[in-house]
Amino acid sequence: MAVDYQASDIQVLKGLEPVRQRPGMYTRTENPLHMIQEVIDNAADEALGGYASKIVVTLHSDASVSVMDNGRGIPTAIHPIEGVPTVELVFTRLHAGGKFSKTSGGAYAFSGGLHGVGVSVTNALSTRLAVEVVREGKRWQMAFAGGDVVEPLVEVGKARGHGTTVRAWPDAQYFDSAKIPLSELERLLRSKAVLLPGLSVSLINELTQQEQHWQFSGGMGSYLQSMCGEADGESYISPLFEGEHYLTKAMLSNQKQEAAEGEGAAWAVLFRESGGRLSESYVNLIPTPLGGTHEMGLRAGLFEALQAFCQHHGLLPKGVQLTADDVWGRVACILSARVLDPQFQGQTKDKLTSRSAHALVANCTKDAFALWLNAHLDAGKKIAELAIKAALERNKTAKTAVKKKASGAAVLPGKLTDCESNDIRENELFLVEGDSAGGSAKQARDKRTQAILPLRGKVLNTWEVASAELFANNEVHDISVAIGVDPHIPDAPDSVLEGLRYGKVVLMTDADVDGAHIQTLLLTLFYRHFPKLVQAGHLFVGQPPLFRIDVDAPKRKQKFYALDEAERDAMVQRLGDEGVKPQHIAIARFKGLGEMNPDQLKETAMSVDTRRLLCVQWPDSHEANVMFEMLMAKKSAADRRYWMERKGYSVEVDI
């Protein structure tokens, strides 16, 4: 450690050095796509303002990427305050840009760029960046290396038209992978064309000698339908609800909330019979993969309109109240919001946080959806039936949970032996097979961080059990209450894990056929009804040994544990190679965890220094669903028999 701490120890990073020191604060570092997107977004801002009609992105054979637009072109004149060419200022200074002023007379009204940071980050993280500007009848060029000017701005001749071309060579040292994901880039460019009718967007790939072109006159609805088809090929229960609404001066006089002329949204919405919510959202053409207040506004607008529709037509059963989640859960949508001064969460702009956007989008969509519902009565009633069905399932689940949880209070199971610590980073819950093993485990555990929950007999096969019926089973009820997490679906928000009481949930069963069966039933339970727990890496499988090997030689007394027969044979072979005679080696087989004394159980399965745990990884959902369906579904008995006849011989089990 440093002995002294002086004023000279404080460093001030100049120019673009903060970006190179901490690139993750300014852009995504998985690959260079986001830093190239900053340039694309600038071109799209020109199109959004009505100044550009064409964007061309080229993937060059030397791993560089160029973005060309026919917008106004970055100004090349000397900046009146900074005294350097304005184009140089844009690429070499953080927080230098033309998008701070949103008032009339500013260079931009609606734009995705906000902070004057984007293209300067692209420059900072490139080994070389070249700029060409055409404006006012002249062509200008300049180049940078590592963020610094290496070729000053020069006029290279006369030219017609106007626009900007930026070519960047991303510096691989700042990214996990230097390769730009082509599918994501294509999706990004296609969305720009969809969201800006009439804009021509092209992608040229010099490596494959292919060129793609997108241009749509309308487009959001057909784009949404193709997006849904790519996801699951599912049919829709209603026609497309599509529209746009932007505020005019006349509308502003009747607006209660603060808003600006031109603000509003365009949307396309479909309702699906099954499957999770599918959505894409944008703010001023900037993709917001984490959603934000504009998505919440669309959610509120759809809900309020449908709720009024149900009440007007008397569709709600007695005692049923809809919630926004009942409506939102089966929505597929594209939302493109236009906000004068948007506020984002972080420089990567993944999530909109502007509070005014919620009311803006809700007001734009509520009345439009109400009119649409009454113009499409049959479709409106189908959507209402879908929402009411979701509400009934929610109510059924809630009633069941209350009954089993004693009026909603999470009363811990009586057979749970809890730990003393409240820190889930170190807490562990062992689900142990049988009371016998549970008794040994309670003596072997670390009381401060390890909790024990014995399970009696075989756990219920929950593959085909509805979430509302789970708590009817005592073992499943006790597991849920002990871990502090309620059953949920894979698409549930991360907040379902807020009540989690243990950082590790360990399945500890015997190393025999019965233990494997119980382990399979528990894995089925967690995969089907507690998927977020698995996805977050909280579920583990303990690997207790099947054999104990004792060495009782004249000058050598040792004890070893073997996980299975292969490990046992390897240990015996090694001992023989070390000169231990066979008569001095005794092998004992454990019939189960309950047969181990507490010291043995602690040493082999519970001590963090000597145990072996496997973290359960979230699998490919389609393949896993097929396998679980074959193994656990009641209707798949014939499939199981066929599988056992063909592959049963390959299963390694101890019988």
Q: Is 293 buried (19+), middle (13-18) or exposed (0-12) by CB count in 10 A?
A: buried
Q: For residues 300 and 363, what is the distance between their CA atoms, to the nearest angstrom?
A: 9
Provide the β-strand partners of residue 454: 432
Whether 418 is a known active-site residue: answer no
Contacts for 129 with CB less than 8 Å, ≥ 6 apart: 91, 122, 123, 143, 144, 145, 166, 167, 168, 169
Which token pair is 345?
């969460």
CB 281 within 8 A of CB 247: no
Catalytic residue among 280, 433, 475, 478: 433
Q: Which of 183, 263, 276, 192 is nearest to 228 (CA)?
A: 276
Q: For residues 607 and 596, what is the distance between their CA atoms, to the nearest angstrom?
A: 14
Catalytic residue among 38, 41, 88, 510: 510
Helix ranges (DSSP H) in 405-537? 434-444, 474-483, 513-529, 531-535
Catalytic residue among 261, 325, 469, 512: 512
Q: Is 414 buried (19+), middle (13-18) or exposed (0-12) by CB count in 10 A?
A: exposed
CB 102 within 8 A of CB 114: no
Quick check: helix, strand or coil at residue 614? strand
Q: For residues 44 and 201, what is the distance between their CA atoms, to the nearest angstrom?
A: 10
Whether 62 is a known active-site residue: answer no
Whether 510 is a known active-site residue: answer yes
Q: For residues 289 and 430, what is the distance between their CA atoms, to the nearest angstrom?
A: 37
Return the ∠ at Cα 26 (arms to 23 and 28), rounded to 5°.
75
CB 110 within 8 A of CB 247: no
Catalytic residue among 30, 148, 514, 565: 514
Q: For residues 550 and 568, what is the distance between their CA atoms, to the nearest angstrom?
A: 11
Phi/psi class of residue 577: alpha, beta or left (left: φ > 0; alpha: ψ in -120 to 50)?
alpha
Whether 230 is a known active-site residue: answer no
The gap between the terminal CA atoms of the chain, to the nearest Å, is 58
Q: For residues 393 and 397, what is the distance between their CA atoms, to the nearest angstrom?
A: 6
- Active site (catalytic) residues: 433, 510, 512, 514
